[in-house]
A and B are shown apart, each in its own frame.
Chain A
Amino acid sequence: MRHASWQELLASPAPASHVVQIVDNDDFLASGVALFAAEGLQRGEAVILTGTEAHLRALRRELLAKNVDYDAAVRRGQLSVNEVQRCLEGILYHGMPDAAAYDAMVGAALAKARAAYSAVRWWGESGSFLHLHGNAKAAVALEELRGAAARKHGVGILCSFLCDRFDPRSYDGILRDVCSVHTHVIPADDYVRYRLAVNRAIAEILGEIKGPLLQSLLSWKGLACDLPSSQALLFWIRETLPDQFHSVLARVKAYA
């Protein structure tokens, strides 16, 4: 629960970090990924983008708007662009990602990028793509492989994941699972607004965090990832105060 803003986090992701951006609209996806990519290009890093054709087109527009010479970056091999479905076809085996095939694919892409650039950052939405196509199990498995690749190769990886953070069911399933396999979670576009909404909802439903509530919060194990306090609190309430969770989440949605 350390990063103060997603802009700071995406501008200079730590080596081996595996960040997930929870998105519910394409604009947030494009602005976050474009910042991640533009900063990498500007710092002389290689950038790999793996997304849907629609998102890759939107990213091209965003990068051009940021005065990135997109075509020149592609020509000199600093920017590599890949269509997600084609990439997945090479690594899925009976609907699940094959670790060896994935490793080989990542190794080849990184070797190519590192031929001319010492640092690499990689954006992808393959997990989200699988989830959207009804394969949540493969989505989480693939995110685990991406996390392992980030650690093994010391690259900063950003994933965008389409998910409704106001859907209470996701806190028992895909949202919790996806957050758990990343090092950092970006849960919302506007952290300040989200924080105010969470604070207000909790104050109205639960009251002040003191006494037994404070004790409960302190003894909560939490998720093993860096996520803003606002989002961490929602996971805490889901786990420790399930009877009040739906009311709190509904109010957060109304206020956010």
Chain B
Amino acid sequence: MHDATPSNLTDCGLPGIRSIPYGVHMCHFYSGRDELAAVLVPYFAAGLRNRERCIWIAAEPLDAAAATLALAQAGVDVDAALAGGALILRDFSDWYGEGESLRGAAVVDFWLAEETRALADGYAGIRISGNISFLTPATWSVFMEYEDTVQKAFSGRRIVTLCTYPSERCGAANVLDVVHRHSCTIEHPDQGWQILTRLGA
């Protein structure tokens, strides 16, 4: 018998991590372009397989052109996904402007509207990733407010989010800021991937 209730779990796409719940807001600290591609390509490939609308906000060291190529090399039919609306892949400057436009509520409203649109179009939900390599010390605290708002607003929604931060630009205090504003942190300690959760989170 077919269960009409959609599952609250979805495939993460990363070996070692099986299912993740919708509403999860994850973070990852990466070193270099290869490590970034190694997390985002399987993450989005799984999203496309799961019939989620995938929205990739690309930034250096893996901009939209390089991300498109990396997905294609992984066997994803990027042209079809882009043409059909299952994949939206743009550079961050198309989404976030300078510091002021990072303020939380408006951007979160935009994401919630995207979720509504995706569900109306027959998708299981939306899968987002933003590569946060564009922050400066001056915009850091504003973006952390945005992360706070996202963490509260996405809980229970049909939205999966992975925020990637370049580890070479994150001091220890920045790492602590970030992990406290996400549901969990994903790490690639050796062969596979693992989810680290905060005590009490």
Using a CB–CB distance below 8 Å, which chain A residues touch chain B? 1-2, 4-5, 192, 195-196, 198-200, 202-203, 206, 208-211, 214-215, 217-222, 228-230, 232-233
A195–B176 touching, CB < 8 Å: no
CB neighbours (8 Å) of B122 from chain A are none
B177–A208 touching, CB < 8 Å: no
A233–B199 touching, CB < 8 Å: no
Question: Do A217 and B176 form a contact, CB below 8 Å, given A199-B171, A208-B167?
Answer: yes
A-B pairs with CB below 8 Å: how many?
A: 72
Q: CA–CA, A218 to B179, complex, Å?
A: 8
B172–A203 touching, CB < 8 Å: yes
Known: A198-B173, A209-B176, A211-B187. 18 other contacts (CB 8 A): A1-B176, A1-B177, A192-B137, A198-B171, A198-B172, A203-B172, A209-B172, A210-B167, A214-B29, A214-B175, A215-B196, A217-B176, A218-B196, A218-B199, A228-B173, A229-B172, A229-B177, A233-B173
CB neighbours (8 Å) of A192 from chain B are 137
B198–A229 touching, CB < 8 Å: no
A214–B177 touching, CB < 8 Å: no
Q: CA–CA, A209 to B171, complex, Å?
A: 8
CB neighbours (8 Å) of A233 from chain B are 172-173, 176
A4–B141 touching, CB < 8 Å: yes
B187–A229 touching, CB < 8 Å: no
A199–B167 touching, CB < 8 Å: no
A229–B196 touching, CB < 8 Å: no
Using a CB–CB distance below 8 Å, which chain B residues touch chain A? 29, 137, 141, 144-145, 148, 167-168, 170-177, 179-180, 185, 187, 189, 196-200
The answer, among A2, A5, A206, for a CB contact under 8 Å with B148, is: A2
Chosen A-B contacts, 25 in total, with CB atoms closer than 8 Å, are A1-B177, A192-B137, A195-B171, A195-B173, A196-B171, A198-B172, A199-B171, A199-B174, A209-B170, A210-B167, A210-B187, A211-B189, A214-B29, A214-B179, A215-B187, A218-B179, A218-B197, A219-B199, A220-B199, A221-B200, A222-B199, A228-B173, A229-B172, A229-B177, A232-B176
A202–B185 touching, CB < 8 Å: no
Chain A proximity of B64: nearest CB distance (Å): 27
Minimum-distance CB pairs A-B, first 9: A199-B171, A229-B176, A229-B173, A202-B172, A4-B141, A209-B175, A230-B173, A195-B173, A209-B172
